[in-house]
Amino acid sequence: MSKSERPSQLFRNLNAKVASIPMIFTALVIFVGGTLWTVLYSFTNSKLLPRLHFVGLDQYYRLWATPRWLISIENLLIYGVLSLVFSLVIGFLLAALLDQKIRFEDTFRTIFLYPFALSFIVTGLVWQWLLNPEFGVQGVVRSLGWTSFSFNPLYDSSIVIYGILIAALWQGTGLIMCLMLAGLRGIDEDIWKAARVDGIPTWKTYLFIIIPMMRPVFITTLVIVASNIVRVYDLVVAQTSGGPGIASEVPAKYVYDYMFFAQNLGQGFAASTMMLLSVIIVIVPWAYLEFGGKKRV
Amino acid sequence: MSDQAVSSPAIAGAGGLEAYGPSGPKPRHTFSRRNIFLYGTLIVVALYYLLPLYVMVVTSLKGMPEIRLGNIFSPPMEITFEPWVKAWSSACTGLNCDGLSRGFWNSVRITIPSVILSIALASVNGYALANWRFKGADTFFIILIVGAFIPYQVMIYPIVIILREVGLYGSLSGLVIVHSIFGMPILTLLFRNYFTSMPEELFRAARVDGAGFWGIYFRIMLPMSLPIFVVAIILQVTGIWNDFLFGVVYTRPDTYPMTVQLNNIVNSVQGVKEYNVNMAATILTGLVPLIVYFLSGKLFVRGIAAGAVKG
């Protein structure tokens, strides 16, 4: 290590540099290079093959004038807000229930988390079957005598996104519960004792002491859930294929379909750049709060 | 509110018992109102979570006539394994009628090399980042971690071009590379954090004894970090097996992984829908990650927690 003469700055610690080549390649070529490439080509009129023929913001004007894209964005907003709220609330409540020193905690946790091990394709197909209007929940309730009962989200374009939401919550809340549980376990037992000595009711302790203390856990969970929401694709493909009509389209599916089926690469690039923009809007404030503050201290 | 006040000492009592061992009379509050509410809620929620799995299994064991007549929640009157056989060996996707088995073996051939390659790259890389830092290494690492948040859709097409240039587009090896690339941020983070938490003296002592980069990795780091390797394997096996997007973009119909083939079987528009075959196929596809999940238990939780919280 302590050689008196260094051969060259470049060859010092050579093994570590060789070992990092895949990381450097991924970081620079794929993540930075690929992203810049896509953003650049979103300003061109590429159709079947990428071509550097710039048309300014035309693709973006066209994108925001396409009904299918507008529906995709609307769906993403509804799905995103609701799945954020519900998965955080349900996840926290389940974690709080499991944190009461109950018996069979491992069994319950295993049950709540197992859907998370399944793929979105499997999740989507199971719920497609459960929500089947003829044989699923609606059919069963009707056969019990309530013939006017109607619960048919997958074939009703005004509520189809809620059908997808149900499946997504079934699959994903277990993860949130686990994260919340880890957060709850990280809280000092003395806090609980102090609150009890002061006679503060349990729900008040949760609301005004524990939840504010779990702020970091909530923020990381929020970021994870939010960046997964933008990516939602497989679930929609499996459960509804974007139907009925275009009622359950999402941006990720728009990108894929325009790139690989409609052979309209420019539109696909513009749409994916919009997806990137939405992630940046979520990530940058978080990164600023998380890391920007620490550096100054 | 009074109920809460009554229940609080009970919690304290239970905690105290755990801490100091069994002393004093056993607290009798098994059927308190609080416990009935607590366990009642948990059991109802647990049943809700189990319901889809139950319906899947039950549907897959029924014949089609029974499905058309009965309701999806009733257990099968006549158990038949025919849907499973059909799903595995003769369900149709497009013109091919050789069932899910082809997709299964494709997935095996994708998952195994991807898991090995991604973990090998990321563990060595994490080790270099933790113990052999060089100028600029942290910058690349930060780009890598931030890049993990970029939607895949942004990078899909440039990768298509790169793979086409090197002649791997549509092949299984191309997909293996893609999985290794996108597994890198989370795995590198996992390994870097783990190696950083190992005592520095260990590394220094090995250096003094003359061990080099690879010597320390193979003789000290690798044997001492088997648990984190197991966590990484669990994470990758489930993640890669469940992947759909990369499979559908980077492979051809004859190399489609299981998830893509499953979706094509179930959502194909031709022919009569055979719900029992569809459900059998769905279970078959979910079986591998489910087995990994139930066998790994707490390590699975540790994997996702490590991946999520530290991210």
SS3 of A43-74: CECCCCCCCCCECCCHHHHHHHCCHHHHHHHH
The verdict on A101 and A24 lying in the same domain is: no
Q: Which residues of A touch B67 (CB under 8 A)?
A: 135
Q: How far is B113 from chain A (nearest CA, A)?
A: 16
- By Cβ distance, the residue of A118, A136, A233 closest to B286 is A118
Give domain status of residue A107, yes or no. Answer: yes
Q: How far is A119 from chain B (nearest CA, A)?
A: 5
Q: Which residues of B touch A255 (CB under 8 A)?
A: 153, 156
Give domain status of residue A17, yes or no. Answer: yes
Q: Which residues of B touch A193 (CB under 8 A)?
A: 12
Contact A108 B46 (CB under 8 A): yes
pLDDT digits (tens, 9 = 90+) for B49-58: 999 999 999 9
- Give the residue extent of every domain in chain B: 2-89, 101-309
**B17 → chain A, closest CA residue:** A101
**B127 → chain A, closest CA residue:** A16
Phi and psi, residue B134, nearest 5° = -125, 165
Give domain status of residue A49, yes or no. Answer: no
Is B140 near chain A, with CB under 8 Å? yes
Whether B181 has a pLDDT exceeding 90, the answer reads yes
The verdict on A85 and A179 lying in the same domain is: yes
The model's pTM:
0.86
- Structural domain of A185: 58-296
Whether B116 has a pLDDT exceeding 70, the answer reads yes
The verdict on A125 and A29 lying in the same domain is: no
Whether A187 has a pLDDT exceeding 60, the answer reads yes
The pLDDT of residue B113 is: 96
Choose the mutation target among A122, A192, A205 for the interface with B, i.e. most B CBs under 10 Å. A122
Q: Where are the alpha helices (DSSP H) in chain B?
A: 2-20, 33-60, 64-69, 82-89, 101-131, 137-147, 152-165, 172-197, 200-208, 213-216, 222-224, 226-241, 245-250, 258-266, 275-296, 298-309
Rounded-to-integer distance, Cα A210 and Cα A197, Å: 16
> What residue type is B269 in one-letter code?
V
pLDDT digits (tens, 9 = 90+) for B278-298: 999 999 999 999 999 988 877
Contact A22 B125 (CB under 8 A): yes
Contact A201 B311 (CB under 8 A): no
The verdict on A278 and A225 lying in the same domain is: yes
Q: How far is A52 from chain B (nearest CA, A)?
A: 14
What mean pLDDT is predicted for residues A28-51? 92
CATH number at residue A205: 1.10.3720.10
Q: Are A113 and B301 in contact (CB under 8 A)?
A: yes
The verdict on A131 and A272 lying in the same domain is: yes
Rounded-to-integer distance, Cα B185 and Cα B195, Å: 15
Residues A203-233 as b/e (b if ≥16 CB within 10 A, e otherwise) read: eebbeebbbeebeebbebbbbbbbbebbbbb
The pLDDT of residue B63 is: 87
The pLDDT of residue A272 is: 94
**A125 → chain B, closest CA residue:** B282
The pLDDT of residue B250 is: 93
Whether B229 has a pLDDT exceeding 50, the answer reads yes
Is B107 near chain A, with CB under 8 Å? no
What mean pLDDT is predicted for residues A58-78? 93
Task: Give the residues across from A44 on adjacent strands.
Answer: A54
> What residue type is B256 in one-letter code?
Y
Query: Within 13 Å of residue A196, how many CA atoms lie on the same side as its CB?
Result: 15
Rounded-to-integer distance, Cα B306 and Cα B303, Å: 5
Whether B2 has a pLDDT exceeding 70, the answer reads no
The verdict on A130 and A214 lying in the same domain is: yes
Q: Which residues 223-242 on chain B approach chain A with CB closer than 8 angstroms?
A: 238, 241-242
Q: Which residues of B touch A258 (CB under 8 A)?
A: none
Burial of B176 (0-12, 13-18, 19+ CB in 10 A): buried
Q: Which residues of B touch A33 (CB under 8 A)?
A: 158
Domains in chain A, number: 2
Q: Which residues 161-180 on chain B approach chain A with CB closer than 8 angstroms?
A: 161-162, 180
The pLDDT of residue B163 is: 94
Give domain status of residue A53, yes or no. Answer: no
Rounded-to-integer distance, Cα A212 and Cα A222, Å: 15
Q: Which residues contact A201 (CB under 8 A, 6 or more apart)?
A: B1, B4, B5
- By Cβ distance, the residue of B51, B155, B244 closest to A35 is B155
Lowest-confidence pick of A2-11, A16-25, A39-48: A2-11
CATH of the domain spanning B101-309, picked from 2.60.40.10, 1.10.3720.10, 3.90.550.10, 3.40.50.300: 1.10.3720.10
Whether B76 has a pLDDT exceeding 60, the answer reads yes
Contact A112 B46 (CB under 8 A): yes
Whether A141 has a pLDDT exceeding 50, the answer reads yes
Whether A232 has a pLDDT exceeding 50, the answer reads yes
The verdict on A204 and A109 lying in the same domain is: yes
Task: Give the residues across from B170 on adjacent strands.
Answer: B251
Contact A279 B150 (CB under 8 A): yes
Lowest-confidence pick of A137-146, B53-62, B128-137: A137-146
Give domain status of residue A164, yes or no. Answer: yes
Is B301 near chain A, with CB under 8 Å? yes
Give domain status of residue A111, yes or no. Answer: yes
Is A135 near chain B, with CB under 8 Å? yes
Q: Write down the mean pLDDT value for chain A.
A: 87
**A140 → chain B, closest CA residue:** B71
The verdict on A130 and A70 lying in the same domain is: yes
B175 or B21, which is more confident? B175
**In which band, very low, low, confident or very high, does the pLDDT at B25 lie, cut at 50, 70 and 90?**
low
The verdict on A167 and A280 lying in the same domain is: yes
Is B67 near chain A, with CB under 8 Å? yes
**In which band, very low, low, confident or very high, does the pLDDT at B306 lie, cut at 50, 70 and 90?**
low
With H, G, I as helix, E, B as strand and everything else as coil, classify residue B75: coil
Is A208 near chain B, with CB under 8 Å? no
Whether A292 has a pLDDT exceeding 70, the answer reads no
The pLDDT of residue A192 is: 87
The pLDDT of residue B18 is: 46
Q: Which residues of A touch B11 (CB under 8 A)?
A: 100-101, 192
Whether A33 has a pLDDT exceeding 90, the answer reads yes
- By Cβ distance, the residue of B12, B52, B279 closest to A170 is B52
The verdict on A81 and A150 lying in the same domain is: yes
pLDDT digits (tens, 9 = 90+) for B254-267: 889 999 999 998 88
Closest CA to A72 of A267, A288, A291: A267
The pLDDT of residue A145 is: 82
Q: Which residues 240-299 on chain B approach chain A with CB closer than 8 angstroms?
A: 241-245, 248-249, 259, 262-263, 266-267, 275, 278-279, 282, 285-286, 289-290, 292-294, 297
The verdict on A116 and A256 lying in the same domain is: yes
The verdict on A245 and A109 lying in the same domain is: yes
The pLDDT of residue B309 is: 44
